[in-house]
Amino acid sequence: MSAPVPRRNLWVRWAAFFDERQAGTSLALFRAACSLSLLYSIGSIVLHGMVPVIWLGPSDGGYTYPGEGPWLFHWLGGLTPTTLWGVVAATLLAGLLLVLGGGGRLTALAALLGYQALTGINTETVGAYDWLLTNALWLIVLARSTATLSLDCRLHSGHWHSDEKVPAWPRYLAIYQIVLVYWSTGMHKLSRSWVPGGGFSALYYILQEPTWQRWDMTWLARCYPLTQFATAITWIWEISAPLLLLVLWYRRTRQRPGRLRGLCNRLPLRGLWVAAGLAMHLGIMLFMDVGPFSLVAVSYYVCLFHPDEWRRYATRVTRLLRRPTSLS
């Protein structure tokens, strides 16, 4: 029997894990994906003319009674059409700058505060994706997400890309966040229509709800077994999400011995998990109207891949595009 690991050694390993530095590619892509989700979330409200409707009182064309609104509006002198549109414009501008990677943490903080203020006005219009997006923006505030693939990088170094190493722990927290979201979602699905032995009818009935469906879905009755299969796969995939952390750890420590570690590294488990998640979110976007939830959730997926992997993928794509085509 092996001797127990001293507590000091465990602390040293824990500290070393969170002190790890990597290229900033994954965090830069995470930054861009999340800011695009923010632009879609707020921009779609603007384009549909719903800003005053959902965020102002009846005297200003809305239906809610928000009072002074969240603290930011209180600091600005109260929630009025002028302050509301000012925060909307500032949030969209911050989101655009965040896509480009200009302004570093200050831009991310401005986008976060603006988004929190807007989504905090009317709780009837808030979705879980709003909290997921604000969590992502907090991580971007804490991360050095503009070290590469950014306007900041271009201005400081003269190049769009940099090999500068940045702290990796925000990427790890993003992975933990999305795993926690899926696992907790699966654990809250306790009705008979979700769990084994209950018929797996949940998705069929959800897609018949006018609140959620994009269009008439009565045709699903002709392929009801497919909805049962999708329900079962979704539930199993969600409650087993914590196993992804083990898979990623085995990939990180692939040089260590162990049959289970070796098996996990031989099988494309991460790729299968990502493919299942993308298929689920594609189905949500095609058949359900739940706001930008899928866009926000998939934004986290870029953190599942090491920065070196993204660079290899980019190199392959570049070589493929530069490959000369033969003329017949």
pLDDT for 195 equals 87
* Domain spans, the chain: 22-166, 168-315
Task: Please count the other Cβ atoms lying within 10 Å of the Cβ belonging to residue 216.
Answer: 9
What is the model's pLDDT at position 305? 97
For residue 262, the model assigns a pLDDT of 95
Per-residue pLDDT at 102: 97
Which pLDDT score is estimated for 6?
65
**pLDDT given for residue 327 in this prediction:** 53
pLDDT on residue 325 = 61
Percent of the chain at pLDDT above 90? 83
pLDDT at residue 3 in the model: 58
Residues of the chain short of pLDDT 70, as ranges, are 1-8, 325-328
pLDDT of residue 145: 97
pLDDT value for 78: 92
pLDDT in tens, 3-17: 565 666 888 888 888
| Cross-strand bridge partners of residue 22 | 166
| The model's pTM | 0.93
